Amino acid sequence: MKIHLAIKLEHKNIYIISVSGGVDSMVLLDFLYHRQFCLIVVYFDHCQRKDSFKDKLLIEQYCKTKNIPLHSFQLTTLETNNFQNNARLARQTILKQVASQYKTHYIITAHHLDDLAETIFMKILRGSSLLGYSGMKSSYVLQNFIWLKPFLYLSKQTIKNYAQQNNIPFLEDSTNNLDFYTRNKIRHHIIPKLKTMGNFLKKIKHFHLQIQESSDLITKLTNVFLKQQKSNYFELKAFLQLHVTIQKNILLCLLEAKQIIANFELISNIIEGLCNYKKPNNKWYLNKKWYLIKEYDKFFFQMHSQLDAMLLKKKAKPLLYSCINIQLLSFCTIKQIIFYDEGMLLPPFYLRQRQPGDILHFSFGSQKLKKFLINNKITTLQRNLLWLVVDQNNTIIFIPRLYFNKTLGQQKYLYLGLKEI
């Protein structure tokens, strides 16, 4: 009986292979061993069955007779909430550690075509990206390690037949028969019925490959955009010129890179907001750590702690000074000369934040502060950090780094100084 691998393996490489004792991984281990690949076996005991020691004994015996290095681990501290995902992450971490120990980047798992079908249905139920709907890839790079699935296009039945014909020992995991997990329900109740309709797994493979090809093109275009961005700020104009499919994938990649759980509604809401030219400033709460912020011609991620620090700075009201000798303001971080005529200013001056209806005065006339800030693309956050110097008539005299009133006259002058604290 011939076995065709989904990927080509090189004899020059060292391969870390995860083996559970089940038929899939035992057949893969035996198949690769008899083709003289260099293998390091890793076994995980999830401590969920009383008879799990039998799996370890089987693998130990096999590896001992074949002189294959074996590393065994007990996963005893996993949280029961979302156990399967926690176990998967724990296995990945340990496999990477073992790979580093042997100075290799290659890690093999025994996922097969039935696993692929189950994963596709899981992704459809939970929602995913286009690549996610393809199920899983036969090879991919994650955190500098190359993850390989040589059996991905083999059916479970083919693997069982091979084990029987070649007398390969294996054990059945009794927990696979339980319907506690969604994946098991799909495995026991949905997939068997679909298999009766003819060529189901073959069609799953074709679906998987078509989706993957489309996803590869989208990923390529996504990477082109991301490589063109020279900082942590993303150009809004360039983003909006892309097809919405590429836009969604860019956002998905950015969110996943920051370990933010994304869904269709969130991504669609962000794109709608980024496209809304009538609202040049916007902010999205992503999780307890991150915001996504739109500011005029760019968008970017900002940590809550950074935003909190800026808002804290806002609360720290600077000290305001005025005099006619600038030397007396040498300790101030901001200084500004103001010219005026008698009766045009009414001291003492004071600091306040912007208010609805604030007016700025220019030589060409007056303008609402709100419009001035919009025209100068001052972001919402920056607006909320502004301090205005006004007199007793509530006339705005000075806004640090943005504006000073030139309509007050020329006969006299004074200096304003601000010391930030």
CATH assignment of the domain containing 180: 3.40.50.620
In a domain, 224, yes or no: no
Q: What's the pLDDT at 50?
A: 78
Do 33 and 149 share a domain, yes or no? yes
Residues 69 and 189 in one domain: yes
What was the pLDDT predicted at 184?
86
Q: What is the pLDDT of residue 313?
A: 59
**CA separation for the pair 100, 42 (Å, rounded):** 13
Say whether 23 counts as a known binding-site residue: yes
Q: Evaluate whether residue 200 is within a structural domain.
A: yes
- For residues 193 and 268, membership in a common domain is answered with no
The span from the CA of 203 to the CA of 216, in Å, is: 20
Q: Are 246 and 392 in the same domain?
A: no
Q: Based on the domain organization, do 262 and 389 belong to the same domain?
A: no
Distance CA 86, CA 383 (A): 44
Amino acid 384: pLDDT: 85
pLDDT per residue of the chain (421 residues) written in tens, 0 to 9: 789 999 999 999 999 999 999 999 999 999 999 999 999 999 999 877 777 789 999 999 999 999 999 999 988 776 666 777 788 889 999 999 999 999 999 999 999 999 999 999 998 888 777 778 899 999 999 889 999 999 999 999 999 999 999 999 999 876 666 667 788 899 989 999 999 988 999 999 999 999 999 999 999 999 999 999 988 899 999 999 999 999 999 998 899 888 888 788 899 999 999 999 989 999 999 988 899 999 999 999 988 877 666 665 566 789 999 999 999 999 999 999 999 999 999 999 999 999 999 999 999 999 999 999 988 888 887 888 899 999 999 999 999 999 999 999 999 999 999 998 7
216 located within any domain: no
Q: Looking at the structure, do residues 71 and 186 belong to the same domain, yes or no? A: yes
- According to DSSP, the residues that pair with 16 across neighbouring strands are 40, 107
Q: How far apart are CA 367 and CA 142, in angstroms?
A: 55
24 is in an annotated binding site: yes
Among 212, 211, 200, 67, which residue's Cα sits nearest to residue 139?
A: 212
pTM here is 0.67
Residue 218 lies in a domain: no
**Would you say 139 is a known binding-site residue?**
no
pLDDT score, position 421: 76
The last residue of one of the domains, among 312, 330, 353, is 312
In a domain, 6, yes or no: no
Is residue 407 domain-shared with residue 342, that is, in the same domain?
yes
Query: In the listed set 272, 292, 312, which residue is the last one of a domain according to the structure?
Result: 312
Three-class SS state of 135: coil
Answer yes or no: do 178 and 281 share one domain: no
- Residue 312, pLDDT score: 59
* Domain-located, residue 220: no
Residues 253 and 199 grouped into a single domain:
no
How many domains would you assign to the chain?
A: 3
In a domain, 297, yes or no: yes
Instruction: Please tell me whether residues 248 and 139 are part of one structural domain.
Output: no
Q: What is the pLDDT of residue 158?
A: 96
Q: From residue 364, give the alpha-carbon distance in Å to each of 124, 306, 360, 393.
A: 61, 39, 11, 21
Are 22 and 126 found together in one domain? yes
> How far, in Å, CA of 226 to CA of 257, rounded?
12
Domain of 275: which CATH number? 3.30.465.60
- Residue 22 assigned as binding residue: yes
* Domain boundary, last residue among 312, 337, 354: 312
Question: Does residue 69 have a cis peptide bond before it, meaning omega lies within 30 degrees of 0?
Answer: no
Q: Domain residues for 189?
A: 14-209
25 is in an annotated binding site: yes
Does the residue 7 lie in any domain? no
75 neighbors 47 (Cβ within 8 angstroms): yes
Beta strands in 230-309 (DSSP E): 233-235, 281-285, 290-295, 298-303
- 305 assigned ligand-binding residue: no
CB distance 19 to 29 below 8 Å: yes
User: Are 47 and 66 part of one and the same domain?
Assistant: yes
